């Protein structure tokens, strides 16, 4: 049992030709997970691991809605599910392992209640454990919610709606390795407690996978680690690099200037050892020494951080880089802000849209709308590089999702602020923590747009360098510190608490004590950043941009919706031709959107007129539109007439209506009665009490 339900892992039945294959079932959600590694090493200098997350529409009994009626590229949720698995398993492959390895997760049954993302990670751990691929697992992955003050393992999709946190934790028997969370501004200590709870609850799952490995696991195939060609030359080369001033070069101010200085030092050191670049074997020697220089850089950087509490830009471990902010840099955007922290810069923009801008998400048969969009863009120029530009990368989707979770927690309820909101974070410069800068820039752009957020939110990326028993937590890490460090821990939140976090570990895991220290230091950094944001923008703009659409809301009887739509949508098209967009909800809520306030007001009056349900006592200045023998028809407003009976026109008896009224006359009238068909009987208000009221009509 895992939580309140049984989790079943089976093998030996499906996909038997692959190295490792399991099915994972939880409720009626079922996944097939396979793991396969190549026994031939690749020529790449990194681990070529791929994780694919495939969603099959037959899992919910549906045919795909695409033109070809087959599944297309993975959606955002599938990509995020693949990232959860990748981040859990990647650190546990042997150092130097270069064989191509592939994990494929296929959702073959989905009950819409038990989420498949954490189950895919569990299946990957089991498949790799029983396969012949060298891997130091097992791991396990669970989701934690908090409902009515109690932690819940693997809450259902319904339960998550009532949870204060949505936390995904992966770990080994000994330690936590990966954390992903969204929260409603919760205390750091609560998150640590939830993570500890998750780690404890996953232990039976780890034990089950260990049992599977012992009983049915294959023998791991042999592989040869890369020959350590550096062993002979590295010690002397590193000593020469230190003597040549490597530390001072690393402290060169500015990313580009530092890179140039390092290139010059590397060339100097290599030229002293390979004077003739055209000689036989010179290219191989140069490549070897370049690797040695990179290793020396990493070791010296880590030493400086651990021993000297000194980083390449001169900061100590707790300092945040200088911050520069500009509000409203774009004249026509609804809201915009530039947030710069060191050499990381993001342009944040907010656009307010109508209900028609809501994105429709088809998540394996469950169609839901999302009224908040956040898009993160990372162009190659942000790092001074030239690269092919295509669609969003998995990294961009992952970073954007983290920023979205951080900001969603501070947005107003849709009923209070009925706009679809799109935030875009365009990374203009990047030297670490661009996703966290997106949170800050995005929040500032919302405030600039006049969105009544609950509280400002900021994000900061934390790092860790650990050597034996010694370690140092780093605030606001640089790109180089992310690469050389042992942890990337991104924490977002308000002054009151955390709204999102993401942690990845490159070592075997970290203890709760280190996690508490990192969260406390992150809060210190976050409060500093929030202070700088408050200096630039103390509060949300009191009014929307003049370019933002205005929204007017009214509520009508749902039975009158057909009147507004009209035959074939004729009436609603006429309303929109007046200069506004109109959205109609099933409960009778009508929202009118327009950048022209006067046009919105005109459409609102027309809607109210068309759906008016007469109330006895209401008075109008009407116009006579038709005369009959028994009375006059008075137009009260477009689409609504009432009948003024001949007996209610004058205090004296009249023989003919035409003796008193003519078509086109303006007359003040009052509703005296409404029959069961909605027909209105009118009276002249000045005659009330002076003439006998007419008996109400019957339908």
Residue ranges for the binding site for Mg(2+)? Answer: 482, 488
Contact 447/539 with Cβ under 8 angstroms?
yes
- Nearest-5° angle of CA 562, CA 568, CA 574? 80
Distance CA 561, CA 554 (A): 12
Q: Please give the C-alpha separations between residue 368 and each of 162, 363, 531, in angstroms, as whole numbers.
A: 17, 8, 37
Question: Bridge-partner residues for 145, per DSSP?
Answer: 152, 166
- Nearest-5° angle of CA 223, CA 227, CA 229? 170
CA atoms in the 13 A half-sphere facing the CB of 682: 27
What is the token pair recorded at 598?
């006067």
Contact 360/420 with Cβ under 8 angstroms?
no
Collapsing DSSP to helix, strand or coil, 77 comes out as helix
**DSSP structure class, residue 322:** P
Distance CA 551, CA 303 (A): 58
Distance CA 343, CA 141 (A): 35
Task: Please enumerate in sequence order all residues whose Cβ is within 8 A of that of 205, keeping only pairs 6 or more positions apart, or say none.
Answer: 2, 7, 122, 140, 142
Task: Please enumerate in sequence order all residues whose Cβ is within 8 A of that of 303, keeping only pairs 6 or more positions apart, or say none.
Answer: none
Contact 678/563 with Cβ under 8 angstroms?
no
Residue 306 Rama label (left phi>0; alpha psi -120 to 50; beta): alpha
Q: Which residues are annotated as a binding site?
A: 482, 488
Annotate 510-572 with DSSP letters as a single string.
B-HHHHHHHHHHHHHHHHHHHHHHHHH-SS--SS--TTSPEEEEEE--GGGHHHHH-GGGHHH
Cβ atoms within 10 A of the Cβ of 50, count? 11
Contact 648/683 with Cβ under 8 angstroms?
yes
């Amino acid at each position: 049992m895992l939580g309140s339900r049984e989790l079943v892992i089976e093998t030996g039945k499906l996909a038997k030709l692959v190295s490792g294959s399991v099915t994972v079932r939880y409720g009626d959600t079922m996944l097939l997970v396979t793991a396969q590694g190549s026994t031939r090493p690749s020529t790449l200098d990194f681990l070529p691991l791929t994780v694919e997350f495939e969603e099959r529409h037959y899992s919910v009994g549906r045919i795909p809605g695409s033109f070809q009626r087959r599944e297309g590229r993975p959606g955002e949720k599938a990509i995020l599910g693949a990232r959860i698995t990748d981040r859990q398993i990647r650190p546990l492959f042997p150092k130097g392992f270069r064989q191509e390895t592939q994990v494929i997760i296929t959702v073959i049954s989905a009950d819409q209640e038990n989420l498949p993302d954490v189950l895919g990670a569990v299946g990957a751990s089991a498949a790799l454990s029983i396969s012949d691929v060298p891997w130091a697992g097992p791991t396990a992955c669970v989701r934690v919610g908090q409902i009515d003050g109690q932690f819940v393992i693997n809450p259902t999709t319904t339960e998550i709606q009532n949870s204060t946190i949505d936390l995904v934790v992966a770990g080994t028997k000994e330690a936590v390795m990966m954390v992903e969370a969204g929260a409603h501004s919760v205390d750091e200590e609560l998150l640590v407690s939830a993570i500890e709870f998750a780690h404890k609850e996953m232990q039976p799952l780890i034990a089950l996978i260990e049992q599977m490995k012992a009983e049915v696991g294959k023998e791991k195939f042999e592989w040869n680690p890369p020959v350590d060609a550096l062993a002979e030359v590295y010690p002397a080369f590193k000593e020469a690099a230190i003597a040549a001033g490597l530390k001072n070069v690393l402290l060169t101010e500015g990313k580009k200037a530092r890179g140039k200085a390092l290139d010059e030092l590397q060339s100097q050191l290599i030229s002293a050892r390979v004077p003739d670049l055209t000689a036989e074997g010179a290219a191989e020697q140069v490549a070897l020494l370049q690797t040695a220089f990179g290793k020396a850089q990493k070791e010296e950087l880590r030493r400086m951080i651990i021993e000297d509490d000194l980083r390449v830009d001169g900061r100590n471990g707790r300092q945040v880089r200088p911050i520069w902010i500009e509000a409203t840099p774009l004249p026509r955007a609804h809201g915009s802000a530039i947030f710069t922290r060191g050499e990381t810069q993001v342009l944040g923009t907010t656009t307010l849209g109508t209900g028609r801008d809501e994105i429709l998400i088809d998540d394996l048969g469950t169609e839901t709308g999302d009224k908040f969009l956040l898009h993160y863009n990372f162009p190659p120029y942000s790092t001074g590089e030239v690269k092919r530009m295509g669609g969003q990368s998995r990294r961009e989707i992952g970073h954007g999702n983290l920023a979205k979770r951080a900001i969603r927690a501070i947005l107003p309820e849709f009923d209070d602020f009925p706009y679809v909101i799109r935030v875009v974070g365009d990374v203009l410069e990047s030297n670490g923590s661009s996703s966290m800068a997106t949170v800050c820039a995005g929040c500032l752009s919302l405030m600039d747009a006049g969105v009544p957020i609950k509280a400002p939110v900021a994000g900061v990326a934390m790092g860790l360098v650990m050597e034996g028993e010694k370690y140092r937590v780093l605030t606001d890490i640089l790109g180089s510190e992310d690469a050389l460090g042992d942890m990337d821990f991104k924490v977002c939140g308000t002054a009151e608490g955390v709204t999102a976090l993401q942690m990845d570990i490159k070592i075997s895991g970290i203890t709760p004590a280190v996690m508490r220290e990192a969260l406390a230091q992150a809060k210190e950094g976050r409060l500093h950043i929030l202070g700088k944001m408050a200096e630039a923008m103390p509060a949300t703009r009191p009014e929307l941009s003049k370019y933002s659409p205005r929204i007017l809301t009214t509520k009508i009887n749902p039975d009158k919706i057909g009147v507004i739509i009209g035959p074939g949508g004729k009436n609603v098209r006429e309303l929109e031709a007046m200069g506004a967009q109109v959205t109609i909800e099933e409960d009778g809520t009508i929202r009118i959107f327009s950048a022209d306030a006067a046009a919105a007001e005109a459409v609102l009056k027309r809607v109210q007129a068309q759906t008016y349900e007469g109330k006895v006592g209401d008075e109008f200045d009407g116009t006579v539109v038709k005369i009959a023998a028994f009375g006059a028809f008075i137009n009260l407003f477009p689409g609504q007439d009432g009948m003024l009976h001949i007996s209610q026109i004058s205090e004296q008896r009249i023989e003919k209506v035409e003796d008193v009224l003519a078509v086109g006359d303006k007359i003040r009238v009052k509703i005296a009665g409404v029959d069961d068909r909605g027909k209105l009987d009118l009276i002249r208000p000045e005659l009330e009490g002076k003439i006998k009221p007419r008996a109400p009509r019957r339908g």
